[in-house]
Amino acid sequence: MNVIKTLMKCIREYKLQTILSPLFIALEVLIEVMIPFVTAQLIDCIEAQSEISVIAKYGGVLVLLAVLSLTCGALSGHFCAVASSGFAKNLRHDLFYKVQSYSFSNIDKFSTSSLVTRLTTDVTNVQNSFMMIIRTAIRSPMMLAFSVIMTMRISKKLTLIFLTAVPFLIIGVTFMLKKVLPLFRSIFKKYDALNNSVQENISGIRAVKSFVREDYEKQKFAKASDDVCDNFTKAEKLMALASPLVQMAIYVVMLLICYIGAKLIITSNNTELTVGGLSSVMTYGMQVLMSLMMFTMIFVMITMSMASANRIVEVLNEESSIQNPENPVMQVKDGSVKFDNVSFSYSSKAERKTLENISLEIKSGETVGIIGATGSSKTSLIQLISRLYDVNEGSVSVGGIDVRKYDVKILRDAVSVVLQKNILFSGTVSENLCWGNKDATDEEIRRACVLAQADEFVSAMPDGYNTMIERGGTNVSGGQKQRLCIARALLKKPKILILDDSTSAVDTKTDALIRKAFRDEIPDTTKIIIAQRISSVQDADKIIVLDNGTINGFGTHDELIQTNEIYREVFETQTKAGDFDD
């Protein structure tokens, strides 16, 4: 019930169409049930050689009923299409907006491929079921009930014939559904694996081509595709039994009705049953059994979509692990940062903490470097500042206030992060840069690019700042992409600027120019620089050396050379390799 209640909220502005569709379906059923009854009267009149005016009257009524049935059916179809399409639109809207509100830990809980499946295949399944419910699911039971009532008015004996077929059909369908339902539940997990295979292959196509691993990727995709195919084949084979089962029941019942009905007409001399009555009973019997068949298919469809509905509701009911406090702080005073005995892990089940007992203080306007081996949790540390994750123990403060007390949007607006993996979107250079500040002027955009050492190559592009960036920034180099992302971060005019190894693809000379621009142009902004090259952080006010999630060293370049073995070893290695400016 909670699943249905949650999904019903997505109907919203399409409530009227959702009500009108079954209403017109009900009218259509009532009219269709009347047609065989009037037809029986017409046949009896023709057989009795009644006056042409009487025959014409019944004929006119039949035409009128047919037109009304067609009109009600068309209107019902129209409202059903609008309601189901609108319901699916709202469902996708709510899912997408919900995902946008998630924290990183929520995203980690659902894989990307699974979220894509839920937004596409699962929504389509639920949409189809919704359409069936407000249209066919109303029509079938009503047709079944009214047809039985009308048949009983004509002949109770013949009614018993097709009513005896109903229990056999119900038993057969119930047995089939018990076998099919578990298969459909497993199919959607296979879909996730299939989508994951496609996503990994397309996003990493350059690596696939470089290592000539196309055959391996084809085999991986074929395996995931075969798994989906095998499960669907098993389910469809079982579902296919429904049609011959119902068809057999229909033909057996029709045969019995024809035989027993003809015998009643002859033996009673049209007193117990007329030819027109037999014709109506046959029509009603067909309607009853076809309604039962449709009801079976609806039940199968709804059963299949319940797995999809549960997966959708899982996403809709998932609450972001990062929420605004009741009375959030709406202003960040300055760029000072303080870690007070912080411990953090991505999962409560993790055997080892990602960060442990981190305590440090960064004054506003300082430049702080962070260096350490791969996997030393450098990125994990800076993600706590903008509250992309919450700490497990201790606290992180910005501007003297715990980050958990800020409005999340206000906090993140005050912190610009240039991520390790740089992302550019399809659009012009200016449009990409305006992600940092949508109201930025052309002069502000150019100024940010000058600071990030990007103005020179952007100006040399065919259309300058109006040059189109292809999806993912594939038409610019890695170093150019990094500099554009730095310029985008600067446009936010943040109190804290974090560069997460964001100059790794930039030559040392350009790297030095970027750092000089930071010192001269944004002295009041706190700058935190994660780097692999010591040359990128040696001029920093303080340098943090991380090792396995703990602070191994903290001080200036000269201090660490004297006191920290890890830092000294990295410095000597890079000096020998010539990775320093003269």
In a domain? residue 255: yes
Residues 47 and 390: their CA atoms lie apart, in Å, by: 85
The β-bridge relationship of strands 367-372 and 526-530 is parallel
Which has the higher per-residue pLDDT, 136 or 541?
541
Residue with tokens 């050492």, as numbered in its chain: 453
Decide which of 200 and 64 is more confident: 64
CA 403 – CA 390 distance, rounded (Å): 9
Q: CA–CA distance from 149 to each of 142, 161, 296, 311, 483 (Å)?
A: 11, 14, 21, 41, 78
Which of residues 48 and 5 earns the better pLDDT score?
A: 5
What is the pLDDT, as a whole number, of residue 118?
87
Answer yes or no: do 272 and 244 share one domain: yes
Last residue of a domain, one of 252, 282, 317: 317
Does the pLDDT of residue 581 top 60, yes or no? no
Q: Nearest-CA neighbor of 523 among 378, 363, 382? A: 363
Do 177 and 86 lie in one domain? The reply is yes
Mean pLDDT of 536-541: 88
User: CB neighbours of 564 closer than 8 A, spacing ≥ 6?
Assistant: 545, 552, 553, 555
Domain boundary residue, one of 317, 349, 373: 317
Q: Is residue 563 helix, strand or coil? A: helix
- pLDDT score, position 505: 76
| pLDDT value of residue 222 | 83
Q: How far apart are CA 191 and CA 199, in angstroms?
A: 12
Indicate whether 265 and 364 sit together in one domain.
no
CA–chain centroid gap for 199, Å, is 14
Between strands 355-362 and 401-402, the pairing is unpaired
Query: In this structure, what CATH number is given to the domain that contains residue 408?
Result: 3.40.50.300
What are the angstrom distances between the C-alpha of 31 and each of 26, 72, 112, 142, 146?
9, 9, 50, 12, 11
What residue type is 109 in one-letter code? K
Does 388 lie in the same domain as 242?
no
pLDDT at 115: 85
- Full strand arrangement of the beta sheet holding 337-344: 355-362, 337-344, 393-398, 401-402
| Same-domain pairing of 247 and 355 | no
Residues 302 and 353 in one domain: no
Q: Among 193-197, 229-233, 535-539, name the one with the lowest average pLDDT.
A: 193-197
Residue 207 half-sphere exposure, CB side, CA atoms within 13 Å?
7
> Quick one: 350 and 306 in the same domain?
no
pLDDT at 321 over 70: yes
Question: Do 280 and 353 fall into the same domain?
Answer: no
pLDDT tens-digit series, residues 98-111: 988 888 788 878 87
- Mean pLDDT value of segment 239-263: 77
Confidence check: pLDDT of 446 > 80? yes
The count of domains in the chain is 2
Q: 10 Å Cβ neighbour count for 291? A: 22
Q: How confident is the model at residue 578 (pLDDT cuts 50, 70, 90)?
A: low
pLDDT tier for residue 182 given thresholds of 50, 70 and 90 = confident
How many residues does this entry show for the chain? Answer: 582
- Name the domain boundary from 317, 347, 381: 317
Q: What is the pLDDT of residue 572?
A: 87
Give the bridge partners for 398, in sequence order: 337, 401
Sign of CA dihedral 271, 276, 282, 286: negative
Residues 106 and 327 sit within 8 Å (Cβ to Cβ): no
Q: What is the 3-state secondary structure (H, E, C) of 338-391?
A: EEEEEEECCCCCCCCCCEEEEEEEECCCCEEEEEECCCCCHHHHHHCCCCCCCC
Query: In sequence order, what DSSP letters do the residues of 277-297 get, joined into one string?
Result: HHHHHHHHHHHHHHHHHHHHH
Asked if residue 240 belongs to a domain, the reply is yes
Average pLDDT over residues 132-150: 83
Q: What is the pLDDT of residue 582?
A: 44
Identify whether 367 is part of a domain: yes
Least trusted range by pLDDT, from 105-119, 293-307, 351-365, 470-484: 293-307
352-388 pLDDT, tens digit each: 889 999 999 999 999 999 998 888 889 899 999 989 8
| Higher pLDDT, residue 194 or 573 | 573
pLDDT attached to residue 541: 92
Q: Which of 86, 94, 8, 88 is nearest to 318 (CA)?
A: 94
Distance CA 84, CA 52 (A): 47
Residue 445, domain member (yes or no)? no
Locate 515 and state its tokens. Answer: 């750092």
Structure tokens at 519: 């010192």
Q: Tell me the C-alpha distance between 214 and 227, whole Å.
A: 20
Residue 294 or 370, more confident: 370
Asked if pLDDT for residue 81 goes beyond 60, the answer is yes
Bridge-based pairing of strands 393-398 and 542-547 is: unpaired
φ, ψ of residue 421 in degrees (nearest 5): -100, 105
- Spatial neighbors of 42 by CB under 8 A, at least 6 apart, are 55, 58, 59, 62, 276
- End-to-end Cα, the chain, rounded Å: 71
Give the CA angle between residues 165, 169, 175 to the nearest 5°: 150
The confidence band for 39, taking pLDDT boundaries of 50, 70 and 90, is confident
Q: Provide mean pLDDT across the span 114-120.
A: 85
Residue 202 included in any domain: yes
Q: Is 407 helix (H, G, I), strand (E, B) or coil?
A: coil
Sign of CA dihedral 272, 276, 278, 283: negative
**Stretch 537-559: mean pLDDT, rounded?**
91
The answer to whether position 483 is within a domain reads no
Neighbours of 442 (CB within 10 A): 9
If asked whether residues 351 and 301 sit together in one domain, one would say no
Say if residue 55 is in the same domain as residue 160. Answer: yes
Q: Phi and psi (nearest 5°) for 512?
A: -65, -40
Q: pLDDT confidence of 188, banded at 50, 70, 90?
A: low
Q: What distance in Å separates the CA atoms of residue 347 and residue 358, rounded to the nearest whole number?
A: 18
Which of helix, strand or coil describes residue 546? Answer: strand
Q: Find the mean pLDDT for residues 452-456.
A: 90
| Whether residue 86 is found in the same domain as residue 228 | yes
Confidence bin at 155 (pLDDT 50/70/90): confident
Comparing CA positions, the residue from 124, 166, 157 lying closest to residue 281 is 157
Q: What local confidence, expressed as pLDDT, does residue 80 receive?
A: 92
Q: Kindly state whether residues 303 and 346 are assigned to the same domain.
A: no
Residue 392 covered by a domain: yes
Q: What is the DSSP string of 25-60?
A: HHHHHHHHHHHHHHHHHHHHHHHTT--HHHHHHHHH
Q: Please report, for the domain that includes residue 31, its CATH number.
A: 1.20.1560.10
Is 486 part of a structural domain of the chain? no
Domain that holds residue 356: 337-423+492-576
